[in-house]
Each structure stands twice: as C-alpha cells, then as structure tokens.
C-alpha cells in the first residue's frame, strides 16, 4: 500500500521539480508577484522580474542573491508598453535560453468612485490586462 503525501510534501515535490526552469514574473515589485518570485527563486528557478518599480525589484534581487538563489534579471517594465515587454523577453531568452513559466501578475488598480473616474485611468487599467 502506498503512503499518501502530506500537503507540505506535495509542495516540496512540486518546487523540487521546478529547479532549473526559467520564470518571467510581471508585477514582481510587490504583493503576489514579489512573493511568487521569491518562492520560485528559493526553489532554484531562474527568475526574470518585470515591474515599474525598479528600486523594489533591486531590493528583492539583493535579498535573493544574499540567500544564495540564482541571480534574478531585473527589467523596469510597464506591461502596457509592448516594446518594453518584448525587450525583457528577448533579454531573458538571451541570458537563460528558455522561458518555462509565465506569471502574468501585473496590474493597475485605481481607487475612487466610478462616477469620478477619468476615461484615461480606466483605459490604462485595462491595458495591463491584455
């Protein structure tokens, strides 16, 4: 009879299977994107960090390198600007030779009432989705 794996054992197996792969993570400067990038890097995944806040990504890079993780690539990128995304992807492929994982996490959220929102704000918010 085979033994069932616990949730933590299943997670360990999953992360072990990712070692050596390459991930591109958008929205990597905070929140879910930052946490995902850190978890993947700690599992041995080579990560390419894309976000608008360069300073936050560089802090994350320093932390991960200090922990012995593979050195991340960092690209100041506004995902609503296709040329910036194209550049980051091309550089990731040049440096790592492949992309195995995409974490498409970037987004913009405007706070306030709908009736007071500017059309341009809504257009910019939806431009990060597609």
Residue 109's pLDDT band (cuts 50, 70, 90):
low
Q: How do residues 59-95 score in pLDDT, each as one tens digit? A: 999 999 999 999 999 999 998 899 999 999 999 999 9
Domains along the chain with CATH numbers? 17-127 (3.40.50.720)
**Spatial CB neighbours of 126, under 8 Å, sequence gap ≥ 6:** none
Using CA atoms of 16, 104, 85, 51 in order, give the dihedral in degrees to the nearest 10: -90
Structure tokens at 2: 């085979």
Residue 57: the pLDDT is 95
Whole-angstrom CA distances from 82 to 75, 111, 124 are 13, 25, 13
User: For residues 88 and 92, what is the distance between their CA atoms, to the nearest angstrom?
Assistant: 6
Residue 66: the pLDDT is 96
pTM of the model: 0.79
Residue 116's pLDDT band (cuts 50, 70, 90):
confident
Whole-angstrom CA distances from 29 to 8, 10, 41, 96 are 27, 28, 14, 21
């Amino acid at each position: 009879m085979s033994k069932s794996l616990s949730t933590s054992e299943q997670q360990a197996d999953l992360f072990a299977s990712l070692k050596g792969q390459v991930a591109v993570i958008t929205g990597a400067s905070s929140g879910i994107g930052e946490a995902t990038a850190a978890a993947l890097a700690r599992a041995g995944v080579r990560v390419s960090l894309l976000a608008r806040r360069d300073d936050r990504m560089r802090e994350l890079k320093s932390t991960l390198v200090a922990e012995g993780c593979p050195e991340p690539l960092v690209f100041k990128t506004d995902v609503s600007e296709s040329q910036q995304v194209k550049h980051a992807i091309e550089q990731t492929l040049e440096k790592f030779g492949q992309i195995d994982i995409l974490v498409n996490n970037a987004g913009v959220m405007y706070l306030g009432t709908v009736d007071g929102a500017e059309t341009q704000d809504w257009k910019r918010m939806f431009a990060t989705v597609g």
